Structure 1
Amino acid sequence: MIESGKAANGPVADFGAIPNEKRGVTAIETAYTILRSRIIGGVYPPGSKLHLENLKSSLSVSGSTLREALTRLMADCLVVAEGQKGFTVAPMSLSDLEDLTSARITLETTTLIESIRLGNDTWEDNLVTCFHRLARAQERLEADPAGAFDIWEVRNKEFHDALVAAAPSNWLANFRHILFQNSERYRRLSGTQGPVPTEVHREHEEIFSAAMARDVDRAVAALTGHIRRAANVIRSNALIKE
Protein backbone atom coordinates (compact mmCIF):
# COMPACT_ATOMS: atom_id res chain seq x y z
CA MET A 1 0.00 0.00 0.00
CA ILE A 2 1.00 3.64 -0.47
CA GLU A 3 2.04 5.30 2.76
CA SER A 4 1.19 8.89 1.77
CA GLY A 5 -2.15 10.62 1.20
CA LYS A 6 -5.22 11.33 3.28
CA ALA A 7 -8.45 9.37 3.25
CA ALA A 8 -11.17 11.96 2.80
CA ASN A 9 -14.37 12.07 0.83
CA GLY A 10 -15.70 15.30 2.24
CA PRO A 11 -15.08 18.90 1.11
CA VAL A 12 -11.63 19.64 -0.30
CA ALA A 13 -10.78 23.31 -0.55
CA ASP A 14 -8.43 22.94 -3.48
CA PHE A 15 -11.14 21.69 -5.80
CA GLY A 16 -14.47 22.98 -4.49
CA ALA A 17 -17.96 21.96 -5.45
CA ILE A 18 -19.83 22.06 -8.73
CA PRO A 19 -21.96 25.20 -9.18
CA ASN A 20 -25.68 24.49 -8.97
CA GLU A 21 -26.35 25.91 -12.42
CA LYS A 22 -24.29 23.22 -14.10
CA ARG A 23 -26.40 20.32 -15.28
CA GLY A 24 -26.29 17.16 -17.38
CA VAL A 25 -23.09 16.37 -19.23
CA THR A 26 -21.35 19.48 -17.88
CA ALA A 27 -21.97 18.42 -14.27
CA ILE A 28 -20.85 14.88 -14.99
CA GLU A 29 -17.68 16.10 -16.69
CA THR A 30 -16.90 18.47 -13.82
CA ALA A 31 -17.52 15.81 -11.17
CA TYR A 32 -15.33 13.38 -13.10
CA THR A 33 -12.52 15.93 -13.40
CA ILE A 34 -12.59 16.82 -9.70
CA LEU A 35 -12.69 13.20 -8.55
CA ARG A 36 -9.93 12.22 -10.94
CA SER A 37 -7.75 15.07 -9.67
CA ARG A 38 -8.30 13.98 -6.09
CA ILE A 39 -7.43 10.38 -6.90
CA ILE A 40 -4.34 11.25 -8.93
CA GLY A 41 -3.19 13.71 -6.27
CA GLY A 42 -3.60 11.20 -3.45
CA VAL A 43 -6.39 13.07 -1.63
CA TYR A 44 -8.27 9.78 -1.91
CA PRO A 45 -5.52 7.19 -1.38
CA PRO A 46 -5.34 3.84 -3.21
CA GLY A 47 -7.78 1.35 -1.73
CA SER A 48 -9.86 3.97 0.12
CA LYS A 49 -13.64 3.73 0.06
CA LEU A 50 -15.57 6.44 -1.78
CA HIS A 51 -18.58 7.38 0.37
CA LEU A 52 -21.36 8.41 -1.98
CA GLU A 53 -23.31 10.59 0.43
CA ASN A 54 -20.20 12.53 1.41
CA LEU A 55 -19.26 12.99 -2.23
CA LYS A 56 -22.75 14.14 -3.23
CA SER A 57 -22.56 16.80 -0.53
CA SER A 58 -18.98 17.77 -1.31
CA LEU A 59 -19.62 18.15 -5.04
CA SER A 60 -23.24 19.35 -4.79
CA VAL A 61 -24.41 16.81 -7.36
CA SER A 62 -27.19 14.27 -7.67
CA GLY A 63 -26.67 10.57 -7.13
CA SER A 64 -27.09 9.84 -10.85
CA THR A 65 -24.48 12.44 -11.82
CA LEU A 66 -22.03 11.07 -9.25
CA ARG A 67 -22.54 7.48 -10.39
CA GLU A 68 -21.98 8.45 -14.03
CA ALA A 69 -18.73 10.18 -13.06
CA LEU A 70 -17.65 7.12 -11.08
CA THR A 71 -18.51 4.88 -14.03
CA ARG A 72 -16.16 6.93 -16.20
CA LEU A 73 -13.44 6.57 -13.58
CA MET A 74 -14.02 2.83 -13.60
CA ALA A 75 -13.47 2.84 -17.37
CA ASP A 76 -10.17 4.64 -16.68
CA CYS A 77 -9.33 1.88 -14.15
CA LEU A 78 -8.96 4.47 -11.38
CA VAL A 79 -12.03 3.28 -9.44
CA VAL A 80 -13.32 -0.24 -8.78
CA ALA A 81 -16.79 -1.42 -7.74
CA GLU A 82 -17.10 -4.27 -5.25
CA GLY A 83 -20.58 -5.72 -5.63
CA GLN A 84 -22.82 -4.31 -2.92
CA LYS A 85 -19.85 -2.74 -1.09
CA GLY A 86 -19.74 0.37 -3.25
CA PHE A 87 -16.80 2.11 -4.90
CA THR A 88 -13.15 2.26 -3.89
CA VAL A 89 -10.05 3.88 -5.36
CA ALA A 90 -8.08 1.37 -7.41
CA PRO A 91 -5.10 0.02 -5.47
CA MET A 92 -1.47 0.65 -6.40
CA SER A 93 1.18 -2.02 -6.14
CA LEU A 94 4.58 -2.98 -7.50
CA SER A 95 3.05 -5.84 -9.49
CA ASP A 96 0.46 -3.49 -11.04
CA LEU A 97 3.21 -0.99 -11.80
CA GLU A 98 5.29 -3.61 -13.59
CA ASP A 99 2.30 -4.81 -15.61
CA LEU A 100 1.32 -1.23 -16.48
CA THR A 101 4.89 -0.35 -17.44
CA SER A 102 5.23 -3.35 -19.76
CA ALA A 103 1.90 -2.61 -21.43
CA ARG A 104 2.83 1.04 -21.92
CA ILE A 105 6.15 0.14 -23.48
CA THR A 106 4.42 -2.17 -25.95
CA LEU A 107 1.84 0.40 -27.07
CA GLU A 108 4.04 3.51 -26.87
CA THR A 109 6.87 2.00 -28.91
CA THR A 110 4.50 0.51 -31.49
CA THR A 111 2.79 3.85 -32.10
CA LEU A 112 6.12 5.70 -32.00
CA ILE A 113 7.52 3.52 -34.79
CA GLU A 114 4.46 4.19 -36.95
CA SER A 115 4.55 7.89 -36.18
CA ILE A 116 8.23 8.26 -37.11
CA ARG A 117 7.65 6.46 -40.40
CA LEU A 118 4.49 8.36 -41.32
CA GLY A 119 5.02 11.77 -39.71
CA ASN A 120 5.12 14.80 -42.02
CA ASP A 121 6.32 18.39 -41.57
CA THR A 122 3.28 19.27 -39.47
CA TRP A 123 4.07 16.38 -37.12
CA GLU A 124 7.66 17.59 -36.79
CA ASP A 125 6.62 21.20 -36.15
CA ASN A 126 4.21 20.18 -33.41
CA LEU A 127 6.81 17.90 -31.82
CA VAL A 128 9.35 20.72 -31.72
CA THR A 129 6.84 23.05 -30.05
CA CYS A 130 5.80 20.48 -27.45
CA PHE A 131 9.40 19.59 -26.64
CA HIS A 132 10.35 23.20 -25.98
CA ARG A 133 7.30 23.72 -23.74
CA LEU A 134 8.20 20.56 -21.82
CA ALA A 135 11.80 21.72 -21.40
CA ARG A 136 10.61 24.92 -19.72
CA ALA A 137 8.25 22.97 -17.46
CA GLN A 138 11.09 20.61 -16.56
CA GLU A 139 13.17 23.53 -15.25
CA ARG A 140 10.34 24.52 -12.93
CA LEU A 141 9.83 20.91 -11.84
CA GLU A 142 13.44 20.53 -10.77
CA ALA A 143 13.16 23.70 -8.67
CA ASP A 144 9.81 22.77 -7.09
CA PRO A 145 8.79 19.11 -7.70
CA ALA A 146 5.51 19.22 -5.77
CA GLY A 147 4.37 22.69 -6.80
CA ALA A 148 5.26 22.40 -10.48
CA PHE A 149 4.17 18.83 -11.11
CA ASP A 150 0.68 19.59 -12.46
CA ILE A 151 1.85 21.84 -15.29
CA TRP A 152 4.77 19.50 -15.97
CA GLU A 153 2.34 16.59 -16.32
CA VAL A 154 0.31 18.57 -18.87
CA ARG A 155 3.44 19.36 -20.91
CA ASN A 156 4.70 15.81 -20.53
CA LYS A 157 1.43 14.42 -21.92
CA GLU A 158 1.51 16.92 -24.80
CA PHE A 159 5.03 15.81 -25.71
CA HIS A 160 4.25 12.09 -25.57
CA ASP A 161 1.04 12.63 -27.55
CA ALA A 162 2.98 14.60 -30.16
CA LEU A 163 5.50 11.79 -30.52
CA VAL A 164 2.82 9.32 -31.62
CA ALA A 165 0.41 11.75 -33.29
CA ALA A 166 1.07 10.41 -36.79
CA ALA A 167 0.18 6.81 -35.87
CA PRO A 168 -3.12 6.01 -37.63
CA SER A 169 -4.85 3.55 -35.26
CA ASN A 170 -7.64 5.02 -33.14
CA TRP A 171 -7.91 1.84 -31.10
CA LEU A 172 -4.25 1.93 -30.14
CA ALA A 173 -4.61 5.62 -29.30
CA ASN A 174 -7.56 4.89 -26.98
CA PHE A 175 -5.78 2.09 -25.14
CA ARG A 176 -2.63 4.15 -24.90
CA HIS A 177 -4.63 7.02 -23.35
CA ILE A 178 -5.98 4.75 -20.59
CA LEU A 179 -2.53 3.39 -19.79
CA PHE A 180 -0.99 6.85 -19.78
CA GLN A 181 -3.66 8.16 -17.39
CA ASN A 182 -3.18 5.26 -15.00
CA SER A 183 0.57 5.72 -14.98
CA GLU A 184 0.13 9.33 -13.84
CA ARG A 185 -0.38 8.23 -10.23
CA TYR A 186 2.95 6.42 -10.31
CA ARG A 187 4.71 9.29 -12.13
CA ARG A 188 3.50 11.73 -9.50
CA LEU A 189 4.73 9.48 -6.71
CA SER A 190 8.12 9.11 -8.40
CA GLY A 191 8.43 12.77 -9.31
CA THR A 192 7.33 14.30 -6.01
CA GLN A 193 8.55 11.80 -3.41
CA GLY A 194 11.58 10.35 -5.15
CA PRO A 195 14.90 12.07 -5.90
CA VAL A 196 14.78 15.33 -7.86
CA PRO A 197 14.22 14.13 -11.48
CA THR A 198 17.18 15.93 -13.04
CA GLU A 199 17.80 13.19 -15.64
CA VAL A 200 14.29 13.31 -17.11
CA HIS A 201 15.09 16.19 -19.45
CA ARG A 202 18.07 14.34 -20.92
CA GLU A 203 15.82 11.35 -21.55
CA HIS A 204 13.21 13.51 -23.28
CA GLU A 205 15.96 15.21 -25.27
CA GLU A 206 17.27 11.84 -26.49
CA ILE A 207 13.78 10.66 -27.48
CA PHE A 208 13.11 13.94 -29.29
CA SER A 209 16.46 13.92 -31.10
CA ALA A 210 16.05 10.32 -32.25
CA ALA A 211 12.48 10.91 -33.44
CA MET A 212 13.46 14.00 -35.40
CA ALA A 213 16.35 12.05 -36.97
CA ARG A 214 13.86 9.28 -37.89
CA ASP A 215 16.12 6.82 -36.05
CA VAL A 216 13.58 4.18 -35.03
CA ASP A 217 15.89 1.88 -33.07
CA ARG A 218 17.42 4.71 -31.06
CA ALA A 219 14.03 6.28 -30.36
CA VAL A 220 12.51 2.99 -29.20
CA ALA A 221 15.44 2.29 -26.88
CA ALA A 222 15.28 5.79 -25.39
CA LEU A 223 11.50 5.69 -24.89
CA THR A 224 11.64 2.22 -23.32
CA GLY A 225 14.20 3.33 -20.75
CA HIS A 226 12.25 6.51 -20.06
CA ILE A 227 8.97 4.70 -19.39
CA ARG A 228 10.77 2.36 -16.97
CA ARG A 229 12.09 5.30 -14.96
CA ALA A 230 9.12 5.67 -12.59
CA ALA A 231 9.08 1.96 -11.77
CA ASN A 232 12.82 1.97 -11.09
CA VAL A 233 12.62 5.03 -8.83
CA ILE A 234 9.61 3.73 -6.91
CA ARG A 235 11.16 0.32 -6.39
CA SER A 236 14.64 1.52 -5.42
CA ASN A 237 13.27 4.10 -2.96
CA ALA A 238 10.58 1.79 -1.53
CA LEU A 239 7.83 4.34 -2.27
CA ILE A 240 5.25 1.53 -2.48
CA LYS A 241 5.04 -1.28 0.03
CA GLU A 242 2.95 -4.30 -0.84
Structure 2
Amino acid sequence: MLSTQIHKFDIFGHDGETVGDVAYRRIRSDIVLGRLKPLQKLKLEVLKETYSAGISTLREILSKLAMEELVTAEGQRGFEVAPISEAGLRDIADLRLLLETHALRRSMAAGDLEWRGNVVAAHYKLAAVESDLIGGGQSAVEQWVRYDWGFHHATISACNAPALMQTHSSVFDRYMRYHMLVLSFRGEIAAEEHERMRDLVVAGDADAAVELLVFHVQSGVEHVLATGRIPAS
Protein backbone atom coordinates (compact mmCIF):
# COMPACT_ATOMS: atom_id res chain seq x y z
CA MET A 1 0.00 0.00 0.00
CA LEU A 2 1.29 3.45 -0.78
CA SER A 3 2.96 5.48 1.90
CA THR A 4 1.38 8.84 2.54
CA GLN A 5 4.91 10.23 2.82
CA ILE A 6 5.51 9.70 -0.91
CA HIS A 7 3.34 11.37 -3.50
CA LYS A 8 0.67 8.92 -4.56
CA PHE A 9 1.57 9.13 -8.24
CA ASP A 10 5.30 9.76 -7.94
CA ILE A 11 7.03 7.33 -10.33
CA PHE A 12 10.62 8.20 -9.41
CA GLY A 13 12.88 6.33 -7.03
CA HIS A 14 13.65 7.48 -3.49
CA ASP A 15 16.51 6.71 -1.12
CA GLY A 16 16.26 3.20 0.23
CA GLU A 17 13.77 2.01 -2.39
CA THR A 18 14.33 -1.04 -4.55
CA VAL A 19 13.63 -1.48 -8.26
CA GLY A 20 10.59 -3.46 -7.19
CA ASP A 21 9.29 -0.59 -5.05
CA VAL A 22 9.46 1.80 -8.00
CA ALA A 23 7.92 -0.72 -10.41
CA TYR A 24 5.07 -1.38 -7.98
CA ARG A 25 4.27 2.31 -7.70
CA ARG A 26 4.46 2.84 -11.47
CA ILE A 27 2.18 -0.09 -12.30
CA ARG A 28 -0.23 0.89 -9.58
CA SER A 29 -0.34 4.49 -10.77
CA ASP A 30 -0.89 3.38 -14.36
CA ILE A 31 -3.92 1.35 -13.26
CA VAL A 32 -5.38 4.09 -11.07
CA LEU A 33 -4.81 6.78 -13.70
CA GLY A 34 -6.42 4.66 -16.42
CA ARG A 35 -3.33 4.08 -18.56
CA LEU A 36 -3.78 0.35 -18.05
CA LYS A 37 -7.41 -0.37 -18.92
CA PRO A 38 -9.92 -2.66 -17.19
CA LEU A 39 -9.52 -6.31 -18.24
CA GLN A 40 -6.22 -5.55 -20.01
CA LYS A 41 -3.92 -8.58 -19.91
CA LEU A 42 -0.77 -7.98 -17.87
CA LYS A 43 1.81 -10.06 -19.71
CA LEU A 44 4.97 -10.48 -17.71
CA GLU A 45 7.35 -10.18 -20.65
CA VAL A 46 5.76 -6.90 -21.71
CA LEU A 47 5.77 -5.56 -18.15
CA LYS A 48 9.43 -6.55 -17.80
CA GLU A 49 10.37 -4.25 -20.68
CA THR A 50 8.06 -1.42 -19.66
CA TYR A 51 8.83 -1.31 -15.95
CA SER A 52 12.41 -2.64 -15.87
CA ALA A 53 11.72 -5.33 -13.29
CA GLY A 54 12.35 -9.08 -13.22
CA ILE A 55 9.66 -11.70 -13.75
CA SER A 56 9.67 -12.90 -10.12
CA THR A 57 9.46 -9.32 -8.86
CA LEU A 58 6.57 -8.61 -11.21
CA ARG A 59 4.69 -11.68 -9.99
CA GLU A 60 5.03 -10.42 -6.43
CA ILE A 61 3.85 -6.94 -7.47
CA LEU A 62 0.81 -8.26 -9.32
CA SER A 63 -0.09 -10.53 -6.43
CA LYS A 64 0.09 -7.52 -4.11
CA LEU A 65 -2.11 -5.48 -6.45
CA ALA A 66 -4.56 -8.38 -6.60
CA MET A 67 -4.90 -8.13 -2.80
CA GLU A 68 -5.77 -4.43 -3.31
CA GLU A 69 -8.35 -5.49 -5.94
CA LEU A 70 -6.67 -3.47 -8.69
CA VAL A 71 -5.62 -6.65 -10.48
CA THR A 72 -7.28 -10.04 -10.85
CA ALA A 73 -5.41 -13.34 -11.00
CA GLU A 74 -6.55 -15.67 -13.76
CA GLY A 75 -4.91 -18.85 -12.48
CA GLN A 76 -2.69 -20.37 -15.14
CA ARG A 77 -3.71 -17.60 -17.56
CA GLY A 78 -1.89 -14.93 -15.58
CA PHE A 79 -3.07 -11.51 -14.48
CA GLU A 80 -5.29 -8.75 -15.83
CA VAL A 81 -6.41 -5.30 -14.72
CA ALA A 82 -9.47 -5.50 -12.48
CA PRO A 83 -12.84 -4.90 -14.16
CA ILE A 84 -15.15 -1.97 -13.43
CA SER A 85 -18.91 -1.82 -13.00
CA GLU A 86 -21.67 0.38 -11.63
CA ALA A 87 -22.01 -1.92 -8.62
CA GLY A 88 -18.26 -1.78 -8.08
CA LEU A 89 -18.24 2.02 -8.10
CA ARG A 90 -21.15 2.29 -5.68
CA ASP A 91 -19.53 -0.27 -3.38
CA ILE A 92 -16.15 1.48 -3.26
CA ALA A 93 -17.83 4.89 -2.82
CA ASP A 94 -19.73 3.55 0.20
CA LEU A 95 -16.50 2.21 1.67
CA ARG A 96 -14.74 5.52 1.05
CA LEU A 97 -17.51 7.36 2.88
CA LEU A 98 -17.50 4.91 5.79
CA LEU A 99 -13.77 5.51 6.31
CA GLU A 100 -13.56 9.19 5.41
CA THR A 101 -16.52 10.44 7.45
CA HIS A 102 -15.14 8.68 10.52
CA ALA A 103 -11.64 10.03 9.91
CA LEU A 104 -12.99 13.52 9.25
CA ARG A 105 -14.83 13.68 12.58
CA ARG A 106 -11.73 12.46 14.43
CA SER A 107 -9.51 14.89 12.57
CA MET A 108 -11.77 17.87 13.23
CA ALA A 109 -11.91 17.00 16.93
CA ALA A 110 -8.12 16.82 17.24
CA GLY A 111 -6.90 19.26 14.58
CA ASP A 112 -4.85 22.30 15.58
CA LEU A 113 -3.91 25.59 13.91
CA GLU A 114 -1.20 23.97 11.79
CA TRP A 115 -3.68 21.35 10.55
CA ARG A 116 -6.22 24.03 9.60
CA GLY A 117 -3.46 25.88 7.75
CA ASN A 118 -2.61 22.70 5.81
CA VAL A 119 -6.27 22.27 4.85
CA VAL A 120 -6.41 25.83 3.53
CA ALA A 121 -3.12 25.40 1.64
CA ALA A 122 -4.26 22.13 0.06
CA HIS A 123 -7.52 23.75 -1.02
CA TYR A 124 -5.66 26.70 -2.54
CA LYS A 125 -3.76 24.34 -4.86
CA LEU A 126 -6.91 22.40 -5.76
CA ALA A 127 -8.90 25.60 -6.41
CA ALA A 128 -6.20 26.91 -8.76
CA VAL A 129 -6.40 23.78 -10.91
CA GLU A 130 -10.20 23.74 -10.81
CA SER A 131 -10.35 27.39 -11.85
CA ASP A 132 -8.09 26.64 -14.80
CA LEU A 133 -10.21 23.66 -15.88
CA ILE A 134 -13.44 25.65 -15.57
CA GLY A 135 -11.93 28.44 -17.65
CA GLY A 136 -10.98 26.06 -20.43
CA GLY A 137 -7.30 25.96 -19.49
CA GLN A 138 -4.84 23.18 -20.11
CA SER A 139 -4.69 21.65 -16.63
CA ALA A 140 -5.04 17.89 -16.96
CA VAL A 141 -7.73 15.98 -15.12
CA GLU A 142 -4.86 13.84 -13.82
CA GLN A 143 -3.44 16.95 -12.13
CA TRP A 144 -6.85 17.69 -10.64
CA VAL A 145 -7.01 14.15 -9.24
CA ARG A 146 -3.70 14.70 -7.44
CA TYR A 147 -4.82 17.92 -5.79
CA ASP A 148 -8.28 16.53 -5.04
CA TRP A 149 -6.57 13.73 -3.14
CA GLY A 150 -4.29 16.26 -1.44
CA PHE A 151 -7.24 18.28 -0.16
CA HIS A 152 -9.32 15.37 1.10
CA HIS A 153 -6.23 13.82 2.66
CA ALA A 154 -5.46 17.09 4.44
CA THR A 155 -8.93 17.26 5.97
CA ILE A 156 -8.49 13.87 7.68
CA SER A 157 -4.75 14.07 8.38
CA ALA A 158 -5.22 14.90 12.10
CA CYS A 159 -7.24 11.75 12.84
CA ASN A 160 -4.19 10.04 14.41
CA ALA A 161 -5.09 6.63 12.97
CA PRO A 162 -2.32 5.38 10.62
CA ALA A 163 -4.07 2.12 9.69
CA LEU A 164 -7.26 4.00 8.87
CA MET A 165 -5.30 6.49 6.73
CA GLN A 166 -3.54 3.73 4.79
CA THR A 167 -6.77 1.88 4.11
CA HIS A 168 -8.48 5.10 3.07
CA SER A 169 -5.60 5.90 0.68
CA SER A 170 -6.04 2.59 -1.12
CA VAL A 171 -9.84 2.89 -1.25
CA PHE A 172 -9.61 6.49 -2.49
CA ASP A 173 -7.43 5.32 -5.39
CA ARG A 174 -9.95 2.69 -6.41
CA TYR A 175 -12.69 5.32 -6.33
CA MET A 176 -10.68 7.87 -8.33
CA ARG A 177 -9.81 5.23 -10.92
CA TYR A 178 -13.37 5.51 -12.18
CA HIS A 179 -12.99 9.27 -12.62
CA MET A 180 -9.79 8.79 -14.59
CA LEU A 181 -11.42 6.24 -16.87
CA VAL A 182 -14.16 8.69 -17.88
CA LEU A 183 -11.97 11.85 -17.71
CA SER A 184 -14.87 14.09 -16.79
CA PHE A 185 -14.72 16.95 -14.28
CA ARG A 186 -17.93 18.21 -12.59
CA GLY A 187 -16.82 21.82 -12.97
CA GLU A 188 -18.05 24.71 -10.85
CA ILE A 189 -20.34 22.51 -8.74
CA ALA A 190 -17.43 20.38 -7.51
CA ALA A 191 -15.27 23.47 -6.97
CA GLU A 192 -17.98 25.13 -4.88
CA GLU A 193 -18.40 21.99 -2.79
CA HIS A 194 -14.67 21.92 -2.09
CA GLU A 195 -14.73 25.57 -1.06
CA ARG A 196 -17.65 24.98 1.30
CA MET A 197 -15.91 21.92 2.70
CA ARG A 198 -12.80 23.99 3.43
CA ASP A 199 -14.87 26.58 5.29
CA LEU A 200 -16.82 24.02 7.32
CA VAL A 201 -13.71 22.11 8.28
CA VAL A 202 -11.84 25.24 9.35
CA ALA A 203 -14.90 26.46 11.27
CA GLY A 204 -15.16 23.12 13.10
CA ASP A 205 -18.72 22.27 12.00
CA ALA A 206 -18.29 18.50 11.86
CA ASP A 207 -21.94 17.58 11.25
CA ALA A 208 -22.27 19.93 8.27
CA ALA A 209 -18.87 18.88 6.89
CA VAL A 210 -19.79 15.20 7.00
CA GLU A 211 -23.18 15.88 5.40
CA LEU A 212 -21.48 17.80 2.59
CA LEU A 213 -18.85 15.08 2.12
CA VAL A 214 -21.55 12.44 1.67
CA PHE A 215 -23.35 14.62 -0.87
CA HIS A 216 -20.05 15.39 -2.64
CA VAL A 217 -19.03 11.76 -3.08
CA GLN A 218 -22.50 10.55 -4.05
CA SER A 219 -22.79 13.34 -6.61
CA GLY A 220 -19.43 12.29 -8.03
CA VAL A 221 -20.70 8.74 -8.43
CA GLU A 222 -23.80 9.86 -10.32
CA HIS A 223 -21.68 12.13 -12.53
CA VAL A 224 -19.38 9.28 -13.51
CA LEU A 225 -22.30 6.94 -14.20
CA ALA A 226 -24.07 9.61 -16.29
CA THR A 227 -21.24 9.46 -18.83
CA GLY A 228 -22.48 6.00 -19.85
CA ARG A 229 -18.93 4.66 -19.89
CA ILE A 230 -19.23 2.39 -16.86
CA PRO A 231 -20.80 -1.01 -17.55
CA ALA A 232 -23.80 -1.97 -15.46
CA SER A 233 -22.19 -5.24 -14.41
Common topology (TM > 0.5): yes
Partner residue of 2:213 out of 206, 220, 223: 223
Does the 8 Å contact 2:24/2:61 carry over to 1?
yes
Partner residue of 1:125 out of 114, 117, 122: 117
Q: CA deviation at 1:110?
A: 0.7
1:94 aligns with 2:86: yes
Partner residue of 2:62 out of 42, 56, 70: 70
Query: 2 CA distance for matches of 1:55 and 1:152?
Result: 28
> Superposition pairs for residues 16-55 of structure 1, below 5 Å?
25-55=17-47
> Which residue does the alignment assign to 1:212?
202
Query: 1 CA distance for matches of 2:26 and 2:82?
Result: 16
Q: CA deviation at 1:230?
A: 2.4
- Cα pair distance change 1:48/1:136, threshold 3 Å: same
Gaps of 5+ in 1: 1-16
1:232 aligns with 2:230: no
- Cα pair distance change 1:196/1:161, threshold 3 Å: closer
Partner residue of 1:167 out of 129, 134, 159: 159
**Letter of the structure 1 residue corresponding to residue 227 of structure 2:** N
Query: 2 CA distance for matches of 1:146 and 1:74?
Result: 34
1:188 aligns with 2:152: no
Does the 8 Å contact 1:127/1:163 carry over to 2?
yes
- Cα pair distance change 1:63/1:136, threshold 3 Å: same
Gaps of 5+ in 2: 1-10
Q: What is the TM-score when the length of structure 2 is the normalising length?
A: 0.85
- Cα pair distance change 1:195/1:205, threshold 3 Å: closer
Q: CA deviation at 1:179?
A: 0.6
Q: CA deviation at 1:147?
A: 5.0
**Letter of the structure 1 residue corresponding to residue 106 of structure 2:** E
Q: CA deviation at 1:60?
A: 3.0
Query: 2 CA distance for matches of 1:68 and 1:144?
Result: 42
Partner residue of 2:231 out of 220, 227, 241: 241
Higher mean alpha-carbon deviation, 57-66 vs 110-119, is at 57-66
Superimposed CA distance per residue, residues 4-49 of structure 1 (whole angstroms, 9 cap, x where no aligned partner): xxxxxxxxxxxxx999xx9x94311221222223222333211121
Query: 2 CA distance for matches of 1:185 and 1:79?
Result: 13
Q: What is the TM-score when the length of structure 1 is the normalising length?
A: 0.83
Aligned residues: 221
Report % sequence identity: 33
